[in-house]
Every structure is written in structure tokens, then in C-alpha cells.
Structure 1
Amino acid sequence: MRTFSGNILPFETKDRVPNSSLLVSILLVSTSMVTSTTFGYDASMINGLNILPSYANYFNINGPNGTTILSLNTASVWIGGILAGVSFGKVTDVIGRRPALFWAAIITLFAVILQTAAQNVGMFVAARIFIGYGTSASALTGPAYLAETLPFRRRAWGLGIFNDFYYVGGLIAAGITYGTSFMPSTWAWRIPSAIQGVFSILCILLLPFTPESPRWLAFQGRPEDALRVVALTHASGDVNDAVVLVQHKEIIDTIDYEKNTAEPLSLAQMVKTPSARKRMLLCSSVAVFSTVAGNVIVSYYLGTMLTNAGVTNTTTQLQINIILNAFSLVCALVGTYYVDRLGRKPTAIISIGSLTIFLFLVGALTKTYGINSTNNSGIYATVAMIFLFQGAYSFGWTPLLYVYPPEVLNYAIRANGMGAFQFVLNGTALMAVFAFPFALNNIGWKTYMINAAWDALEVPFVWWYWVETQGKTLEEIDEVLDGVKHSNAPDLEKVMRGEAEGISMEKTEEDRDVKE
């Protein structure tokens, strides 16, 4: 074990970071993926609660204002996400990636307690706003933390797994809500609410065993600490390793360049140059496209979707919710495996093209074999298309949602850019989650057709506008977007393949002396 003194967290005196690159990578991903597990749990839990009679009765969802209450209880989590998007990016830049994750977990834990104790709609909605703030604060910090700290060959895997665990949380919540559904009291929905806090506790317990982002440390003027972290994540602590020295030089040179730009880390940097504007548009396209692909209906209103398809039994709907989350998790893991082999653009195009076809089929089959249909084969076909749609979505968008944005954002705008990403993501989701119950009630199957027509427009945009980031360090991605690399270090991939010479510790120290 290697002792690290870094950015101090409220509960710690010293860090205890393992001196093993593989174990450090696992701990980094484990700490961050708690975020997506919490969010996936929340989505699946509220999906299950929307099916439970005891929840519907307690909040009078079957009353005259039922649709409004249903939408508000469900969509309010995104209000907190919007607030986190506009405020937490700066916090992440100032106090560091790791402490930011700690405080996000604390906020989420407080919100879970409030939600479990909710006595009325107002208290429940307030709790869900805080949950949205805490989980979105984690969701903008975690990907930046992983992208900046993991070795580039593990980056896609780590960021993909980060969001794949959305379905782990979803599967756990689906099972718990199914188990509590047989309770006649309010504990049928309070128990699932309370268990949600377990993931935030796990995050807090793991944080002392992970290092701070080397890029954050470099920006704070701590190159030696940054070198030790790079050595830990790439070569189990060997600061003389050739790959470590090249990666460290890339980081230091690029950070020095970005520190010398006007107003680094400011909001203005996000729109100041054509390159920054392109980065933000790429980032925002992921937020919008992944949110209004149609997955919001499946994630939050599966009960209504299944009822419209002809499956009306509550127990059956809850069972389908469990199976669907397990299926989606498998598809997401397969997508994570291929995102670094196929590339980011091909994975997105395959996912979008497939889910568009399946969503059109969901609409057509719902129209033909929907409510009051006695054709069981037609109903089964509709459910099968729902599964295939969610599988296609999970294959591409689940890993890409947090792989691509932190990759295309350079350090000067990464935290604020991820904040803007969360703002757009949550704002789009708020609109969709609030609107879809009304759409499903009023135009039914046509909702799917309209959504699928929108999805078809996403394919040419991704094909034409996205840049490929596969197989590059963050600094090498800057070269793709800026047209110039801000370091004279050789490409890391070439050094690892033996096609280029590395650099020595002496050379690194000479360069540092020249700059000083």
C-alpha cells in the first residue's frame, strides 16, 4: 500500500491507495459507478412504484388530478438535475473530483431519508429534487474523474461500466419493488426508497482508497503528485516507466497550455472558440439524443406501456420489469465490450438505427394488438419489440452516454462542460418525463411513431458531425478537435507498441526546469 496525501476529505486523515494499477482501476470504477447504480435504482424503483396500488392510493394518483401528480412525482428528480448542472461543475473544479463525489453522495443520502419519510406529495417531490441534484452532481463528476484518471486503454471500459450499472441498480430495485408489492401498507414503497441510500454509503466508504485525478493535480501546480498517480494507474507505482513518463508529459504540457488561455475553467471558455463550440455541441447531442430516443417511456412508464399493449396484470408487469432490466444489463455489457472495438460512431449508429426500427414496430403492434385485444400472440410480439428496443438502446447509448462527453471535452471546460451536459440532459428529460403520460393517454400508439421518426434524424447527424475518439489519450483527442497537439511527447499508443521512443525522467525534469 502507498500512502497518499491529496485533497483532504472531511472524514479522512490519510489516503490508503493500493499499489496495484489493476486494483486502483477497479476501485476507481467501483466508486464512480455507484452513481449510475443509484440513478438506475431510482428509475426502476419509481417505475415499479407507479405500478403499485398502495403508492397510487397514498398519493391519490387515481384521483381527478392523478396524471399531474404521477408526472410531478416522477419528473421532479430532473429539476434537481438541472440545478446540479448549472452549479456543481465549478465545485468539482475547485475542490477536486474526489471530494466532489463525496459531497454528492452526502446530498443523495439526505434526500433518500427525506423521500422514505415523505408524508405528502410536496415532501416527496422535494426529496426527489434533492435526489436529482445529488445523483446528477455525481454524474457530472464521476465521468470526468474516470476519464482523467484511468489509463486510456481502460477508459472506454471504465466509463461504459460506469453507466452499465444503471441496470444493476434497476434490477435490484425491480426485485425489491416486486417483493414489497404484496405489502398492504405504505412500507410497500417506503422500503424501496430507504434501500436506495445503500449505494451512497458504499461510495463514501470506497473514496479513501482512490487517488485524485492527475489532471486536476497538474492544474493545481502539483506535477509530482500527478506523476505518482499516473504511475499508480499505469505501472503499479513505477515512476520511471516509459509509458508513465510519456503520459505525464502529455498531461503537463497540455495543462500548461490550457492554464495560459484567458479565463481557464470559466463558463465563457465553453463557447469562446470554434473548437470549444464543437465540443459542446458534440456533448449536447449525446444528452438530447440519448434522452428522447424513447427510453424514457420504458424507464418510467413501463406499466402504462404494457397496459396499452394489452398486459394489465400488476404482478405480470412487475415481473416483466425485472426481466427487462436483466436483459438490458446484458446488452449494455455487450455494447461496452464493442465500443472500443467498433469505435464510438459505429456503435452509436448501430444502436440508433436498430432502436428506431423496433420503436416503429412497438407503435404498429400496439395499435393492432393493444387494449381489449384477445390475440395473445400479438401481445407477446409487442412485448418482444419493447425488449428489442430497450436492448438496442442499451447496446449503444448506455455505455456511450458517459464515454463520449468527457472524451471530447478538454480539461479547461471538462467540469463545466459536464455540468452543461447534465443541464441539457436533465432539462430534456424533465420535458419528456412530464409530457409522456399525457401523450400516452391522449394519442397512445402514435407517441411511439412520432418518437421513432425523431430517432431516424439522429443517424445522419452522428455520421456527419461526430469525431472518432477510439484508441486515443485525452490529449490526443484534443489534437483531433483542435488540429494541433499541445505537447511534443510521442503518441502513447506508438510507444506502447514500440514504434516510438519514450522519454527519460531526466528529460522530463529538464523540460520542467526550462518552463520554470
Structure 2
Amino acid sequence: MNPKRKWYNNWRLISLHAWIVLMLITSSMNGFDGSLMNSFQSLDQWENYFHKPEGGKLGLLNAIQNIGSLAAYPFAPYLSDGLGRRGAIWIGAVIMLVGVGVQAGAYSLGMFIGARFCIGFGLTFAANASPMLVTEIAYPRYRPQLTSLYNSLWYSGNIVASWTTYGTQHIATTWSWRIPSIMQGIPSAFQFALILFAPESPRWLVSKGREAQALKTLAYYHADGDEQDPLVQYEFEEIKASIKLDRESKRNVGWKSLVSTKGNRRRMLIIVAIAWFSQWSGNGLVSYYLNKVFDTIGITSSTIQLLITGILAIWNLFWAVLASFLVERLGRRFLFLTSAAGMLLFFTLQTICSARYAITQSQGAAHAVIAFIFLFYAAYDLAFTPLIVSYTVEILPFSLRAKGFNVFNFTISVALIFNQYVNPIALENIGWKYYIVYICWIAFELGFLYFMIVETRNLTLEEISAMFDGTDLKEKIQHAVPAAAEVRTDDLVDEKASA
């Protein structure tokens, strides 16, 4: 492809990006659910129909989707590696559609809980495969931004759920919550109908011995169908060489390999940490229990609660998407450290204002809490929305990507379940004082990120591997890959840094 041509001037890249959007909306499905339960708790129709669940029962309602996700984790990487990325997404979509149908038609709390378990179970398969497929088929120059957009689009589903529920709150019947429940299935319906027509991962195809198909896919989408294009040839040969070396060394085979070497242990420590941090930085209080936070500062109107939730979702999407497009310009390490420092500052100020409201009942303090929630999320969205997925898949080699990413998702589910059970109980018993726990934890996060996050901007895959493994893998792959002097530097550097 002519390097001076942009993606919007090339219809094959346009079609590739359209397929990538189909994969990115998996995150929208997840974000829809995250806001849905928060919005339902502000709906009198939903609360009255299910007899106002509180305490442990409310915690179960919010946690059950993640319990369903946990149940699917043992199978997800085998599905992604065995049937392919597309097949895993399709099976996940089918299971989620069943769950959405049951949830929309639920007539008892048990039925509603069962439906959410089913949604979580299916979501695991789609969420394991989707970002990997984005990473593995995207055009090199746009891969970091597109992979970062995956988790950022969590907020697109969040926005639809928030504003749909804001609109349906005026429906006096159960359709006020059944309509948003039905809309939750729209992303899965598109994936069910279309995903099997999307291109499969060239890396997965090579790993299964289907090299001709892999080369054809790379050429069709990355070089207008020219299989002899220097970039395509380099990509193809690099993929073959990397997979061959992994198989020969056997250091990246099986679950044990995740911790069998010093480099892999460091990878997994970083991945588990950022996954946990992404849910245990105080954001869980807002994502799932915003109405409870509002109660602590005297904002009890369901209309105002839903309005603020909807505006916050738009605010979050803006900052997350902006950070996604700046990931190569500013670098991963800068964004992570700036994000953690900002969260620590604004969550501390939020806690101070919450305490002042509790003591003085000052309306000014209550309004300040809302302002600092927005500022806290702007800081959070600089790194912990766009980067946690893209950084994870970037530092994992292909042979470990499905299993390592599964560990990432498993860690998030465990953190969510813990939060969803503990947060409502802690807020009910100690109110704003619970925020102090998060202040201490965010301070720890900042220190961890400073010492552990490795900058990967503008680095090749071999250089990233060398940083973690301390091996001569770079030289081995360069020896295995034919000379490609004609490959354009701007495309090749992006390809290696993001593959």
C-alpha cells in the first residue's frame, strides 16, 4: 500500500476496520452491563418488581455475571487457540443472546440472576478472543491505537445503557427495565450474524499450518492483494519464524510456561497487577454503586442520579478515546504514571469533600464530590481504560497470548467479585471512611507502576522480548527472516512493536 495513502483512501483497509469494529463492540457489551445494573438500582420499577434487593443479595446480583465469567475461564483459551478467534467470538455471542433473552423475560429474581450468569459465561469467550484478533489482523501503523480502543469502547455500551434507562424510567411498567435488557443483546446479534465472515488471525492460521491462507489474508488487507509486497513478506516471515522458534524452544508451551522463566514471571506480575488495579482503584464504587455514593452525599433523586451517570459515561468515553490515539505519541509508561498520580490526587480530594458533607451537610461539599468524581475518571481513563488490554496483549508472545490474556480477565473478575460483595457492605457501615482504604491502595499502585512498567513505544517485538527474557531472540528471528530492505520504516516499526 502506498505509504502516503491513509486508511480512508483504501477500501480494503476500510473494510478491515469495519471488521475490527465488529470485534471492538464486545467491549461495548461488557460496558452496557456495567452501567445497566447501576441504572436499574435507580429505577423504582426494577427495585419494586424484585422487592428491593439489598446487602448480600444486591452484591450477588452485581457479582453473578463475573461468577459466570469465572466458570468459563478454564475453557476460553482452548476455544480461542483451538477453533480460532472468530469461532470463539461466535460461540460467545450465541450464549450471550440466550442470556439476554432470559434476562429480558425474567419474572423472578432467580431467573434474572441465572440470565446474568449466562451472559457472563458467554462474554468470557468473546472477550478472550476479540482483542487478540484485533491485534493480530490490524494494519501495523494503526494497531496500537485500535487495540487501545478495544477497552475504551466499554464506555460506548455504558452510554447507551445509561441514557436508555434514563429515557425508560418514565415507563410505569416493567418495560422500563426490559427494554434496556433487550438492547444489551444488539452487539451479540451483529457478531452472531457477521463474525464468521471476518478475516481470521494470520498468526493463528500459521500456527495451524494454513500458511497460504495467512499470506492471502495479510496481502488482501495490508497490500491491496499483493503477496510479494515487502511489508507483507516481512510480516509473514516474521510470524512463521516467531512461531517456529517458540515451538522449538518449548519455553512458551502450556500453562506452566507462564511462570517458567524470569521474563514470563515478570510479564505475569505486571499483567495481574494492572488487571487488579483497573478494578481496585476506587472506580468500582462509581461503576456499580454510584447511587450508593450519591446517597452518602445527599443526592437521592433517581432522575438526577441517572442524568449524572449518563453524562459521566460520555465524559469517560472522551478521555479514553483521546488517550487511545495518544498512546504512541506519549508512551505507555508516561500514561500509566500520570493516570495513577491523578487518581491519587482526585480521590483524596473526593474523600475530603465526602467527609466534610458527612460532618456539615454542606451542599457545596456534595457538589465538589461530583466534580472530583469526574476528574478522577479523567485521570483513570488516561491509562486504565485504553492500556490494560493493549499493553497485556503487546507484551505476551503469540504462544502465550490466549492463556496470558485469560489470566488477565480472570484477575479482573476476581477483583470485581470482591468489590461487588464488599463495597455495598462497607459503604453501608462506615460510609466515606471506606474511601481511605482506596487512597492507600492507589499510592501503592503508583509506586508499583513506577518500578515495574516497561516502555514499549517504538520498540520491535524482538526488543520487547529481549527486555523481558534477556535472550538473543531478536538475532535469531532476523537470521530466519529474509532481508527486507524495501520495507517501509514507518509501517515496519509499528508492526514489530504491536505484533
Q: TM-score w.r.t. structure 1 length? A: 0.88
Which of 112, 115, 126 aligns to 1:127? It is: 115
Equivalent residues of 1:86, 1:420 under 8 A apart: no
Whether 1:387 aligns to 2:379 is no
Instruction: Describe the shift of the 1:26–1:492 C-alpha distance in structure 2 as closer, same or farther (beyond 3 A).
Output: farther
Correspondence for 1:52:
43
> 1:497 aligns to what?
489
Superimposed CA distance per residue, residues 145-202 of structure 1 (whole angstroms, 9 cap, x where no aligned partner): 1122213321221112111111111111011111111222222211111110111011
Q: What is the CA–CA distance in structure 2 between the aligned matches of 1:53 and 1:254, rounded to whole Å? A: 56
Aligned residues: 479
Q: Which amino acid aligns with 2:199?
A: P
8 Å Cα contact 1:140/1:415 also seen in 2: yes
The aligned counterpart of 1:7 is none
Unaligned runs of 5+ in 2: 1-9, 494-499
1:86 aligns with 2:37: no
Correspondence 1:91-110 to 2 at 5 A = 91-110=79-98
Contact 1:282 1:408 in 2 (8 A): no
Quote the offset at 1:20 in angstroms: 4.3
- The CA distance in 2 between the partners of 1:160 and 1:264, in whole Å, is 25
Q: Which moved more, 1:223-232 or 1:376-385?
A: 223-232
1:204 is aligned, of 192, 208, 230, to 192
> Per-residue deviation at 1:401?
2.0
Please tell me whether the aligned partners of residues 341 and 446 of structure 2 are also in contact (alpha carbons under 8 angstroms).
Answer: yes
Q: Which runs of 4+ in 1 moved over 3 A?
A: 261-265, 472-476, 489-495, 498-501
Q: Where in structure 2 are the equivalents of 1:368-407 lying within 5 Å?
A: 368-370=356-358, 373=361, 375-407=362-394
Q: Distance in 1 between matches of 2:410 and 2:299?
A: 35
State the TM-score, normalizing by the size of structure 2. Answer: 0.91
Write the letter of the residue equivalent to 1:55. W
Q: Which amino acid aligns with 2:295?
A: T
Read off the aligned partner of 2:35 and give its amino acid letter: S
Within a 5 Å distance, the mapping from 1:282-301 to structure 2 comes to 282-301=270-289
8 Å CA contact 1:287–1:421 kept in 2: the answer is yes
Contact 2:237 2:482 in 1 (8 A): no
Instruction: Compute the displacement of 1:288 (Å).
Output: 0.7
Report if the CA contact (8 A) 1:104-1:134 is conserved.
Answer: yes
1:131-151 Cα offsets, whole Å, 9 max, x none, are 112222222111111122213
User: Deviations for 1:202-238, whole angstroms, at most 9, x for unmatched residues?
Assistant: 1223324421101101111122222222223322222
Tell me by how many angstroms 1:355 deviates.
1.1
Structure 1 residues 491 and 302: CA distance shift in structure 2, 3 A: farther
- Residue 310 of structure 2 aligns with an amino acid whose one-letter code is I
1:51 is paired with a residue whose SS is coil
CA deviation map 1:406-465 (0-9, x unaligned): 111111111111111111110111111121001111111122221121011112211211
Q: Which residue of 2 aligns with 1:330?
A: 318
Aligned to 1:22: 13
Counterpart position of 1:514: none
> Which residue does the alignment assign to 1:437?
424
CA contact (8 A) 1:45 1:173 kept: yes
Instruction: Choose the corresponding residue for 1:187, options 165, 172, 175.
Output: 175
What is the rounded CA distance, in whole Å, between the counterparts of 1:500 and 1:323 in structure 2? 40
Q: Provide closer, same or farther for how the CA distance between residues 277 and 499 of structure 1 changes in structure 2, counting only shifts above 3 A.
A: closer
Q: Which amino acid is the alignment partner of residue 487 of structure 1?
A: I
**1:452 alignment counterpart:** 439
Identity of aligned residues (%): 34
Question: Is the CA contact 1:105–1:138 (under 8 Å) kept in the aligned structure 2?
Answer: yes
What is the 5 A alignment of 1:57-76?
57-61=48-52, 66-76=54-64
Structure 1 runs not aligned, ≥5 long:
1-18, 502-516
Q: How far is the alpha carbon of 1:349 from its aligned partner?
A: 0.8
2:455 alignment partner, one of 465, 468, 471: 468
* TM-superposed deviation, 1:490: 8.2
Note the 1:229-248 alignment, pairs <5 A. 229-248=217-236
Preserved contact between residue 230 and residue 486 of structure 2 (Cα < 8 Å): no
Match of 1:487 among 454, 477, 485: 477
Residue 482 of structure 1: CA displacement? 2.4
